[in-house]
């Protein structure tokens, strides 16, 4: 696609996307919900970043804040989002609409409800092509067909004139991807793109997103709660907890040398297919924090096994690990003397997870 | 797979539940067509055992769970629970039988009455079946709530929406235990929960199973979760059984091509494990017009003419390991070469 080539040659020094101290707060009856509370990171062209966290950690709001896809009422957004060298956080709706689809696009979690039920699939794909790229009807339809081939949907000619309800869940998600890719975006946000799909279909969709990323030299931000999904399909991982970014590192570094006890606890709570059955699972006691009244100090401290007095009073800043591209927010990271002492103590007590109160 | 047969049923031992030739079909509007949700499956569960049932959406795993409770009654087949045939039981006797077999559902919040206090929800079965005095009922309810990690005082004052998803699932578990059942059917009990909470609920189920000597049927789509909790695992595809085996042997040496596809599709939380190239494309076909022969044949890398015409029967390939496949990955008559791309 011609536009795609243009976008790629418009090379600018520095990262493609630079987010600095982004805050998104929602005014509610209960008080101010600090869904994203001072997040900073950058993303290079062609890279895949995974954002992981539990529900309510702010991962979805973060991706929508970057795109500016949030209602203006009762929302307070501050900080800086620099995309291709230009600040986009203060753009008006009209200006943002020029970015959506063409520069940044999004695949949503639920392909059933994100497609228009009364518009033919082909029309939904070609709509963006005619609006953003000014293609004529015939050209847009041909491009839509080519996109359906790209996303490997069976019998693409037939699909153009079908409605969403006539397609299976996997095919609908492929259509969503085709719509998102239509105008050759520079960044593709995929918000839990496979959560509603079966595991065999999930594998196909993740492979498709990866292939398209490489073919188009596109950046991908993959938002998910599943550490398994990000392990195989990202270059870097950002872990979110309570509206904050608590650890970020290249994927291999993160898995080999995680610093934040939360990341470790999250990984250890997943049943491992390699373990024999009835292996006792490690649990994280308690629940994610209330974002109206977040805990003092480190937001993970009420649930952390290694909590120390300092954690409860002082909030840890983002520190840099041995590798400069690895940052974490913890006073006593995994492997530190205090951590090791506490770990040994817990092991002596036989830290068998009990049926703890919630 | 798409297999039939009963080679895997056990005659000896304390069989709590025995299902034979279970068929459940639903009409498609007035077209005369039928959804073949469950097409003649047989299995059994020993007392004290946990049977895991896995498969993709539409494979009939939830329908199987509900048919065991006669919700609705199956079109044909037999379900024998604690020595009683359930399929022809009168309605009032069936209601009594359901006090012995309980169910936990996927969505913990919508399976609790939003207008009632949580403690009353858990107590209601005791009132309906007139078990004990009011004081005895309340002390039993409070004891169970404490065991599942819910503060009884808070439960007496609060409704379901005031609790989190994980807490609501704990409340559902307390409710299912209040009549002292022998078997609990768990239909995707943790798939709506966050991973950290999922581990809490899975551990809780293991603890309660040991404490009350429960028998569990655990239905889920997540293979790692099912492996963790089950003694035996049964893989289903399009209303048929593919493979039944002790969980450890199922996961180390799958015999059915579909089981292998499922295992290969699981994303591994380890970047050093190369992501397997997707070898099987497509999705399960419609259960309205299931393919003849083995129902997995259109997607199977080893399918031949026999698979397209003749339905495989369940047979044993290793100790306690049964598979319904003409060309299993091991234990077949002749080795099959499968070319994977």
| Closest listed residue to residue B50, CA positions, set B220, B199, B183, B204 | B183
Q: Does B30 map to a domain?
A: yes
Q: Does B64 map to a domain?
A: yes
pLDDT tens digits for B132-160? Answer: 999 999 999 999 999 999 999 999 999 99
Q: Does B17 map to a domain?
A: yes
CB contact under 8 A, B248 and A265: no
Q: Is the pLDDT of residue A313 over 50?
A: yes
Shortest CB distance from A278 goes to which of B164, B206, B222? B206
Contact criterion met (CB below 8 Å) for A306 and A293:
no
Residue B127 tokens read as 């009132």
Cα–Cα distances in angstroms (integers) from residue A206 to residues A194, A212, B165, B334, in the given order: 8, 10, 28, 36
CB contact under 8 A, B151 and A357: yes
Token pair 């228009």 is found at A116
- Using a CB-CB cut-off of 8 Å, the residues of chain B touching A280 are 203, 206
Contact criterion met (CB below 8 Å) for B294 and B312:
yes
pLDDT tens digits for B11-53? Answer: 777 899 999 999 999 998 888 899 999 999 999 999 999 999 9
pLDDT recorded at residue B140: 95
Query: Which chain B residue has the Cα nearest residue A355?
Result: B204
Q: What sign does the dihedral A113-A114-A118-A122 (CA atoms) show?
A: negative
- Using a CB-CB cut-off of 8 Å, the residues of chain B touching A60 are none
**Residues A10-14: what's their mean pLDDT?**
61
Contact criterion met (CB below 8 Å) for A338 and A267:
no
Chain B touched by A54 (CB under 8 Å): yes
CB contact under 8 A, A255 and B269: yes
d(CA B304, CA A310): 67
Contact criterion met (CB below 8 Å) for A163 and A118:
yes
DSSP reduced 3-state for A327: strand
Q: Does B314 map to a domain?
A: yes
- When mean pLDDT is compared across A35-49, A186-200, A332-346, the lowest value belongs to A186-200
Beta bridge pairs of residue A250 = A236
- Using a CB-CB cut-off of 8 Å, the residues of chain B touching A271 are 199, 202, 222, 224-225, 227-228
Number of folded domains that form chain B:
1
Q: What is the CATH number for B304? A: 3.40.50.300
**B56 min Cα distance to partner chain A (Å):** 6
Q: What secondary structure letter does DSSP report for B213?
A: T
- Asked whether this complex has an ipTM greater than 0.90, the answer is no
Shortest CB distance from B221 goes to which of A199, A225, A285? A199
Domains for chain A: give ranges and CATH numbers. 2-241 (3.40.50.300), 259-348 (no CATH)
Contact criterion met (CB below 8 Å) for B21 and B77:
yes
Residue B50 tokens read as 């946990």
* A positions 190-249 inside 8 Å of B (CB): 198-204, 206-207, 225-229, 231-233
Q: Does B118 map to a domain?
A: no
d(CA B33, CA B36): 9
d(CA B171, CA B105): 12
Shortest CB distance from A232 goes to which of B221, B224, B268? B268
Contact criterion met (CB below 8 Å) for A38 and A227:
no
pLDDT recorded at residue B4: 74
pLDDT recorded at residue A350: 67
Q: Is the pLDDT of residue A358 over 80?
A: no
Which pLDDT band, with edges at 50, 70 and 90, does A12 fall under? Answer: low
- Using a CB-CB cut-off of 8 Å, the residues of chain A touching B198 are 269
| Closest listed residue to residue B102, CA positions, set B130, B129, B137 | B129
Chain B touched by A307 (CB under 8 Å): no
- When mean pLDDT is compared across A162-166, A258-262, A349-353, B207-211, the lowest value belongs to A349-353
Which pLDDT band, with edges at 50, 70 and 90, does B164 fall under? Answer: confident
**B273 min Cα distance to partner chain A (Å):** 8
pTM: 0.86
DSSP reduced 3-state for B136: helix
Q: Does B26 map to a domain?
A: yes
- When mean pLDDT is compared across A33-42, A105-114, B110-119, the lowest value belongs to A105-114
Q: Which residue has the higher pLDDT, A111 or A92?
A: A92
User: Which of A199, A239, A260 is the best mutation test for B, with the most CBs of B within 10 A?
Assistant: A199
Q: Is the pLDDT of residue B338 over 70?
A: no
Instruction: Give chain A's mean pLDDT.
Output: 89
Q: Is the pLDDT of residue A11 over 80?
A: no
Q: Does B244 map to a domain?
A: yes
d(CA B62, CA B6): 21
Q: DSSP letters of A73-115?
A: TTEEEEEEEEETTEE-TT--HHHHHHHBTTTEEEE-S-HHHHS
Q: Does B12 map to a domain?
A: yes
pLDDT recorded at residue B333: 62
| Closest listed residue to residue A103, CA positions, set A170, A41, A180 | A180
Chain B touched by A275 (CB under 8 Å): yes
CA angle B268, B272, B276 (to 5 degrees): 55
pLDDT tens digits for A115-152? Answer: 999 999 999 999 999 999 999 999 999 999 999 988 88
Chain B touched by A152 (CB under 8 Å): yes
- Using a CB-CB cut-off of 8 Å, the residues of chain B touching A273 are 223-224, 227, 251, 263, 266, 268
pLDDT tens digits for B241-298? Answer: 999 999 999 999 999 999 999 998 888 888 888 777 777 777 888 889 999 999 999 9
pLDDT recorded at residue A13: 65
**Residues A273-301: what's their mean pLDDT?**
90
Shortest CB distance from B196 goes to which of A171, A207, A284? A284
pLDDT tens digits for A174-211? Answer: 999 999 999 999 999 999 888 878 888 888 889 999 99
pLDDT recorded at residue A1: 44
pLDDT tens digits for A149-180? Answer: 888 888 899 999 999 999 988 889 999 999 99
| Closest listed residue to residue B229, CA positions, set A279, A228, A282 | A279
| Closest listed residue to residue B268, CA positions, set A199, A201, A198 | A199
What count of Cα atoms within 13 Å lies in the side-chain half-sphere of residue A51? 30
CB contact under 8 A, B225 and A271: yes
Structural domain harbouring B283: 1-100+185-190+220-267+276-341
Residue B101 tokens read as 């077999």
CA angle B72, B74, B79 (to 5 degrees): 110
Using DSSP, how many helices (H) and how many strands (E) does chain B show?
11, 12
Which pLDDT band, with edges at 50, 70 and 90, does A106 fall under? Answer: very high
Token pair 């709570």 is found at A269
pLDDT recorded at residue A55: 85
DSSP reduced 3-state for A150: helix
**Per-residue b/e over B225-264, b at no fewer than 16 CB within 10 Å?**
bbbbbbbbbbbbbbbbbbbbbbbbbbbebbbbbbbbbbbb
- Using a CB-CB cut-off of 8 Å, the residues of chain A touching B196 are 54, 265-266, 269, 283-284
CB contact under 8 A, B149 and A281: no
pLDDT tens digits for B196-227? Answer: 889 999 999 999 999 999 999 999 988 999 99
| Closest listed residue to residue A301, CA positions, set A281, A318, A291, A315 | A315
Q: Is the pLDDT of residue B7 over 90?
A: no
- When mean pLDDT is compared across A94-98, A195-199, A344-348, B313-317, the lowest value belongs to A195-199
**B277 min Cα distance to partner chain A (Å):** 8
- Helical spans, DSSP H, in chain B: 61-68, 91-98, 118-128, 134-147, 152-157, 165-177, 195-212, 223-229, 247-252, 257-265, 305-309
pLDDT tens digits for A208-252? Answer: 999 999 999 999 999 998 888 999 899 999 999 999 999 999 999
Strands B50-54 and B215-220: parallel
Cα–Cα distances in angstroms (integers) from residue B94 to residues B34, B73, B100, in the given order: 27, 11, 10
């Amino acid at each position: 696609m011609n536009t795609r080539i243009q976008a790629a040659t418009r090379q600018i020094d520095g990262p493609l996307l630079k987010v600095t101290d982004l805050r998104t707060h929602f005014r509610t009856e209960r008080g101010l919900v600090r869904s994203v509370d001072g997040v900073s990171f950058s993303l290079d062209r062609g890279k895949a970043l995974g954002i992981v966290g539990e529900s309510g950690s702010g991962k979805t709001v973060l991706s929508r804040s970057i795109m500016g896809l949030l209602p203006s009422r009762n929302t307070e957004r501050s900080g800086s989002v620099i995309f291709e060298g230009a600040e986009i956080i203060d753009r008006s709706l009209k200006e943002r609409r020029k970015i959506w689809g063409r520069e940044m696009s999004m695949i949503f979690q639920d392909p059933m409800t994100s497609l228009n039920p009364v518009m033919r699939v082909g029309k939904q794909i070609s709509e963006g092509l005619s609006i953003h790229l000014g293609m004529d009807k015939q050209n847009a339809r041909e491009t839509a067909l080519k996109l359906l081939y790209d996303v490997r949907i069976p019998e693409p000619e037939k699909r153009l004139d079908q409605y969403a309800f006539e397609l299976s869940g996997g095919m609908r998600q492929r259509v969503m991807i085709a719509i998102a890719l239509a105008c050759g975006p520079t960044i593709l946000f995929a918000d839990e793109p496979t959560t509603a799909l079966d595991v065999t279909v999930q594998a196909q969709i993740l492979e498709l997103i990866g292939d398209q990323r490489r073919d188009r030299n596109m950046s991908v931000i993959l938002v998910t709660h599943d550490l398994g999904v990000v392990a195989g399909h990202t270059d870097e991982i950002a872990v979110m907890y309570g509206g904050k970014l608590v650890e970020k590192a290249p994927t291999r570094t993160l898995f080999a040398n995680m610093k934040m006890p939360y990341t470790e606890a999250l990984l250890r709570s997943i049943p491992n297919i390699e373990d024999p059955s009835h292996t006792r699972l490690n649990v994280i006691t308690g629940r994610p924090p209330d974002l109206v009244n977040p805990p003092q100090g480190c937001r993970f401290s009420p649930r952390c096994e290694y909590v120390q007095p300092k954690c409860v009073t002082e909030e840890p800043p983002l520190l840099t690990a041995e590798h400069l591209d690895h940052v974490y927010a913890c006073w006593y990271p995994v492997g530190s003397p205090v951590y090791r002492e506490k770990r040994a103590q817990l092991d002596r007590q036989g830290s068998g997870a009990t049926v703890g109160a919630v | 797979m798409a297999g039939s047969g009963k080679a895997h049923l056990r005659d000896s031992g304390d069989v709590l539940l025995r299902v034979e030739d279970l068929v459940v079909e639903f009409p498609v509007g007035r077209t005369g067509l039928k959804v073949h949700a469950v097409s003649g499956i047989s299995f059994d569960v020993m007392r004290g055992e946990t049977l895991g049932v896995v498969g993709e959406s539409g494979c009939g795993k939830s329908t199987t769970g509900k048919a065991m409770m006669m919700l609705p009654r199956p079109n044909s087949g037999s379900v024998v629970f604690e020595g009683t045939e359930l399929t022809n039981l009168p309605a009032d006797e069936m209601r009594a039988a359901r006090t012995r077999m309980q169910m936990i559902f996927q969505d913990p919040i919508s399976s609790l009455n939003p207008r009632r206090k949580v403690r009353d929800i858990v107590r209601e079965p005791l009132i309906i079946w007139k078990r004990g005095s009011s004081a005895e009922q309340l002390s039993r309810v409070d004891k169970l709530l404490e065991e599942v990690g819910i503060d009884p005082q808070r439960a007496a004052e609060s409704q379901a929406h005031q609790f989190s998803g994980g807490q609501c699932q704990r409340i559902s578990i307390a409710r299912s235990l209040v009549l002292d059942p022998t078997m609990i059917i768990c239909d995707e009990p943790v798939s709506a929960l966050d991973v950290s909470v999922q581990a809490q609920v899975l551990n809780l189920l293991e603890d309660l199973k040991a404490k009350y000597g429960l028998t569990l049927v655990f239905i889920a789509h997540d293979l790692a979760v099912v492996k963790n909790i089950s003694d035996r695992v049964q893989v289903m595809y399009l209303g048929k059984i593919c493979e039944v085996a002790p969980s450890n042997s199922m996961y180390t040496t799958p015999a059915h091509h579909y089981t292998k596809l499922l295992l290969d599709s699981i994303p591994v939380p380890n970047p050093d494990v190369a992501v397997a190239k997707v070898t099987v494309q497509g999705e399960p076909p419609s259960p309205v017009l299931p393919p003849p022969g083995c129902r997995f044949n259109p997607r199977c890398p080893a399918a031949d003419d026999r698979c397209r015409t003749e339905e495989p029967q369940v047979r044993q390939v290793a100790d306690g390991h049964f598979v319904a496949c003409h060309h299993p990955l091991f234990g077949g008559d002749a080795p099959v070469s499968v070319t994977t791309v």
